[in-house]
Structure 1
Amino acid sequence: MDALKMDAPEVRAGFSRWLLPVFAATCGASVANIYYAQPLLDAIASTFAINPAAVGLVVTLTQIGYAAGLIFIVPLGDLVDRRRLVIAQTLLAALALAAIGSAPNAMVLFSAMVGLGLLAVVVQVLVALSASLAPPQERGRAVGFVTSGVVVGILAARFVAGMLADMGGWRTVYFASACLMLLMGFLLAHMLPRDMPIASAERYGAVLKSIPRLFLSDPVLRLRSGLAFLIFASFSTLWTGMVLPLGAEPFALSHTAIGLFGLAGLAGALAAGSAGRWADRGLAGWTTGLSLALLSLSWLPIGLLPASLVAFTLGVVLLDFAVQAVHVTNQSLVFARLPEARSRLVGGYMVFYSAGSALGAITSTASYAHFGWSGVSLAGAAFSGAAFLLWAFTRRWAR
C-alpha cells in the first residue's frame, strides 16, 4: 500500500491524495473475487461432484455475470451518483461472497458466481473515475496505476486462495473476501467526496443504445476491443488450465504452491504499468506490437510443462507482462476517445475482455480433458497469434 501511495499520480484539487491508492486496492480486492476459483477448481469439483471437463463452467459463469454487469451497470457511472453506485456494489459483493462460501449445492454456487461477476464491475467504474480525476497529461499514468491494483488482485488471488484453502478449505477463501469487501466499502464511504458531478444527462436507455454505435463507428475502439478479447482468451487459457497438471502427478502441488506462480506472474505484470506512460508519449502502437509478439512467444516455454517448471515459470512472467502492457495501452486509448462517456466506453471494452476470459476458461478445461497440456498450450498460442495478426494487418491497412 505504501508503494502505491508513493507513486500515485496527481489528482484534481479537492480529492484526497490517498484516493487513487484506495481505488487501486478496491479494484484489486474486487477483481480477485473473479479469479479465486481458478486454483480451487479441483476442490470445488470434488465438493459438488462436478465433472472435471465441465468445472471450467464455474469461471465461465462468473465471466458471464461480469459481462452483464459491464453492459447494464457500468454505464450507470455516467448517469448517477458514482459514490452511491460504488459503495452499493462493494457491499452487495460481500453478500454474494458469503453466499458462495455457504453454498449447499452446485446450483446455488453457480447462481452466486453469476451475481459475484455482476457486482465485480465496480472495478471498471473506479478505473473510469480515476481517468476523470487525473489531469489529461497524466491520464495514462493514473489508469496504469489503478490498473496495477487490478493486476495485483488477479495474480495474487491465486496465492491467497491457495494458502487459505490449504488452511481451512476453499469456502474459507470466500468468507475472508466477504470481510475484506466490507472493509473496502467502509473506506470508500468515508473517502469518496459527496459532490462529484454527473457526467451525462442522457437517459439510461439512450446510453445503452449508444454503446454498440460508438464501437461500430470508431475503428480504434473496434481494434482495441478485438485485441482485448484475444489476449484475455489467451490469459484465461493459461490460468484456468494450469491447476490441472500442477495439482496432479508428477507434481501434486498444493493450492499454496500453485498460487506461488501467480506471484511470479505478478513481477512481469507490474512491470507493464509503464505502458500507460508509453501511451501518453505516443508509443501505443509499438508497445502493442512488441507486447503481442512477446505474448505469442511466451507459449513456447509454457508448453514445456511438465518437462521444465523453470521454463514454465518464465513463460508465465512473459505472458503476464505482455497481456497487461496491451491492456493498459488499450484503456489509455479508449478513455481518450470520448471523455463524457468514459463509463460506457470502458463497459463496452471490458465486455470483450470478459467474453475472451470466458472462452479461454472453457476452452482450457475442455482441451486439457481431451488433449492434455499440449492442447491447452496450442489453444493459448492460437489466441495470442491471432491477436498479433489482427494488430499487424490493421496497421498495414491504416497505412
Structure 2
Amino acid sequence: MRASPRTTPTPGAPAASSAATAPRAATAPTPADARRGPRTGVLLTVLSVCTGVTAANIYLATPLLGLIADGFGVAPSAVGWIASLAQLGYAVGLLFFAPLGDTADRRRLVWMLSALAAVALAVAACAPGSAALAAAVFVSCAATVVPQLLIPLVAERAPADRRGRHVGVVVTGMFAGSVAARVLGGLAGQAYGWRPVFLGAAVLTLAIGLLTAAVLPPETRPVRRSHPLRAIAGLPRLVASSPGLRAACVRQAGLFGTWSALWTTLVLLLTSDGTYGMATATAGLFGLFGLTSALVSPAAGSLIDRFGAHRVMVTGYALTAVSLPLFWLGGHRLWALCAGAVTLHAGFTAGQVANQTRALGSSSSPAAANTAYVVSCFAGGAITSALAGPAFAHWGWNGVCAIAIGCAALGWAGGALAARER
C-alpha cells in the first residue's frame, strides 16, 4: 500500500472531505489485501465490538464501588480512588502502548494486551483487599488501549471518501461500551455481586481479543523494533509540526473538558437535598443519555465524508454551546437538564469523530498522532473534573456551568490559534 502525495491544506479553511484536512490520505486496500483479509463489514463489526468490550473495562469499577466497599467492610470513600486509578492506568497505557501501533505487529499487540487485561481482571475478581484490587484495575486499564490501536488501523485502510464513516462505526463501540459498563455493570453487580462482574469481563475481554487478532488483516507496512520511550519523546515534535493535529487536540480537549465538568458533577446536583434529592440508583439512570453518543457517531462519520471534518466539528461545537444554557437552567428544571444531556452528548460525539478523523489523517504516523490526540483530550477532562467538584462545593451548579463555558470558549479559540502555520 502506498501513501498518496502530500498536500498543503489552507489554514482555517473548511475541507470538502475529511481527506482534505489531512496531509496524508490512506489508500484503499488492494485486491490482494482484500483476499487475505475479512470483508469490510465483518471486520468493522468485530472491531466495534472489541472497542466496546475493552473500553468498558475502564469504567467497570465505577458502578460497583458501593458493593466493593460492602464486600471489604469499609466506607465507600475508602475505595472511591480506585475509579480514578483506572483513568490513570489508561493514561499510562496510552503513552506506552498506543504509539507502538505505527511500528509493531498490531495483531500480536492486540492479543497480548487482551490477554494481559483478562488476567488482571481475573486477579481483580479474586482480590482480598482494596490495595490488591486497585493494582489489578490499574494493570487492566493500562492494557485496555486496544481501541486506540484499532482506530488508526481503520483510518489507515479506509478509502478516503469513507474514512469518517468507518472511524465513526468503531468509535460507536467505545461509547456503547462506556454506557454498558455504567448501566449493565451496576445491574449485574446488584444481581450477582461485584466479583462475578470482573470475572465475566475477563472472559469477554480474552474472547474478543483473540477473535479480533484472528480477523485483523495482514500488515501492509514494515514491522520493526519498537521503542516506547523514543515514541513518547517524539510526540511533542509531532504535534508541533502539524497544525491540523494541534487544532484537533486543543478543540477536543475543550469539548471533553466541558463534558467532564458537567457530567462528573451531575450526580451531586441530582442527589443533593436542596435541588432534586434523587436516590443514587435513580441518578445513575442519567447514564442512559450516553446512548445518544452511540447513535450520533456513525451519522457524524457519514457527514464527515460528505461535508468535511471542519463543518462537522463546527456543528459539534454549536450543539455543545446550545447545551450550556440548558444545563444552567437544569439546575432547577429537570426537562432542561434532560434536553441539555442529549444535546451535549450529540455535540461532544460529533466533535470527537470529526477531530479524531482529522488527527489520524494529519501525519504519516497515525498511531502516534492518535496518542497525542487522546492524551490531550484526557488532560482536558482531568483538569476540569478536578476543578468542578470544588466549584460545586463553593458556588453550586452555577460555578460548574461557568467552568464548562470557559473550557468550551478556550477550546474553540485555542483551536483556531493552533491551526495556524508556524
Q: Same fold (TM over 0.5)?
A: yes
1:253 to 2:279 alignment: yes
- Kindly provide the amino acid, as one letter, of the partner of residue 15 in structure 1: G
The answer on whether the counterparts of 1:71 and 1:347 sit within 8 Å (CA) in structure 2 is yes
1:178 to 2:202 alignment: yes
The answer on whether the counterparts of 2:104 and 2:225 sit within 8 Å (CA) in structure 1 is no
Gaps of 5+ in 2: 1-27
Q: Distance in 2 between matches of 1:184 and 1:29?
A: 8
Q: CA offsets per residue over residues 131-189 of structure 1, 9 Å max, x none?
A: 22322322221111111111211233221123223323444443332222122123224
Q: Which residues of 2 match residues 1-20 of structure 1 at below 5 A?
A: 13=34, 14-17=36-39, 18-20=42-44
263-272 or 386-395, larger mean C-alpha shift: 386-395
- Kindly provide the amino acid, as one letter, of the partner of residue 85 in structure 1: L
The answer on whether the counterparts of 1:64 and 1:354 sit within 8 Å (CA) in structure 2 is no
361-370 or 343-352, larger mean C-alpha shift: 361-370
Q: Which residues of 2 match residues 145-294 of structure 1 at below 5 A?
A: 145-193=169-217, 195-199=218-222, 201=224, 204=227, 206-247=230-271, 249=273, 250-255=276-281, 257-294=282-319
Q: Out of 102, 115, 127, which is 1:91 matched to?
A: 115
Q: Distance in 1 between matches of 2:412 and 2:68?
A: 35
Q: Distance in 2 between matches of 1:41 and 1:305?
A: 27
Q: Distance in 2 between matches of 1:385 and 1:43?
A: 39
The answer on whether the counterparts of 1:63 and 1:358 sit within 8 Å (CA) in structure 2 is no
- Kindly provide the amino acid, as one letter, of the partner of residue 129 in structure 1: L
RMSD between superposed Cα atoms in Å: 2.9
35-44 or 179-188, larger mean C-alpha shift: 35-44
126-135 or 232-241, larger mean C-alpha shift: 232-241
- Kindly provide the amino acid, as one letter, of the partner of residue 75 in structure 2: A
Deviation at residue 127 of structure 1 after TM alignment: 0.8
Q: CA offsets per residue over residues 320-341 of structure 1, 9 Å max, x none?
A: 11111111111111121224x1
The answer on whether the counterparts of 1:269 and 1:317 sit within 8 Å (CA) in structure 2 is no
Q: Distance in 1 between matches of 2:322 and 2:124?
A: 37
102-111 or 315-324, larger mean C-alpha shift: 102-111
Cα distance, 1:366–1:90 mapped onto 2, change above 3 Å: farther
1:27 to 2:27 alignment: no
Query: 2:234 aligns to what SS in structure 1?
Result: helix
Cα distance, 1:244–1:165 mapped onto 2, change above 3 Å: farther
Q: Out of 328, 335, 359, which is 1:310 matched to?
A: 335
The answer on whether the counterparts of 1:36 and 1:158 sit within 8 Å (CA) in structure 2 is yes
Q: Out of 385, 388, 400, which is 1:376 matched to?
A: 400
Cα distance, 1:156–1:304 mapped onto 2, change above 3 Å: farther
- Kindly provide the amino acid, as one letter, of the partner of residue 208 in structure 1: I
The answer on whether the counterparts of 2:47 and 2:170 sit within 8 Å (CA) in structure 1 is yes
- Kindly provide the amino acid, as one letter, of the partner of residue 114 in structure 1: F
The answer on whether the counterparts of 2:257 and 2:380 sit within 8 Å (CA) in structure 1 is yes
Q: Which position in structure 1 is the counterpart of 2:362?
A: 337
The answer on whether the counterparts of 2:315 and 2:350 sit within 8 Å (CA) in structure 1 is no
1:130 to 2:158 alignment: no
1:296 to 2:321 alignment: yes
Deviation at residue 383 of structure 1 after TM alignment: 1.9
Q: Which residues of 2 match residues 60-71 of structure 1 at below 5 A?
A: 60-71=84-95
TM-score, normalised by the number of residues in structure 1: 0.84
The answer on whether the counterparts of 2:183 and 2:285 sit within 8 Å (CA) in structure 1 is yes
The answer on whether the counterparts of 2:250 and 2:415 sit within 8 Å (CA) in structure 1 is no
Deviation at residue 191 of structure 1 after TM alignment: 2.5
Q: Distance in 1 between matches of 2:103 and 2:193?
A: 41
- Kindly provide the amino acid, as one letter, of the partner of residue 215 in structure 2: M
Q: Which position in structure 2 is the counterpart of 1:7?
A: none
199-208 or 377-386, larger mean C-alpha shift: 199-208
The answer on whether the counterparts of 1:38 and 1:239 sit within 8 Å (CA) in structure 2 is no
Deviation at residue 259 of structure 1 after TM alignment: 4.3
241-250 or 207-216, larger mean C-alpha shift: 241-250
TM-score, normalised by the number of residues in structure 2: 0.80
The answer on whether the counterparts of 2:270 and 2:283 sit within 8 Å (CA) in structure 1 is yes
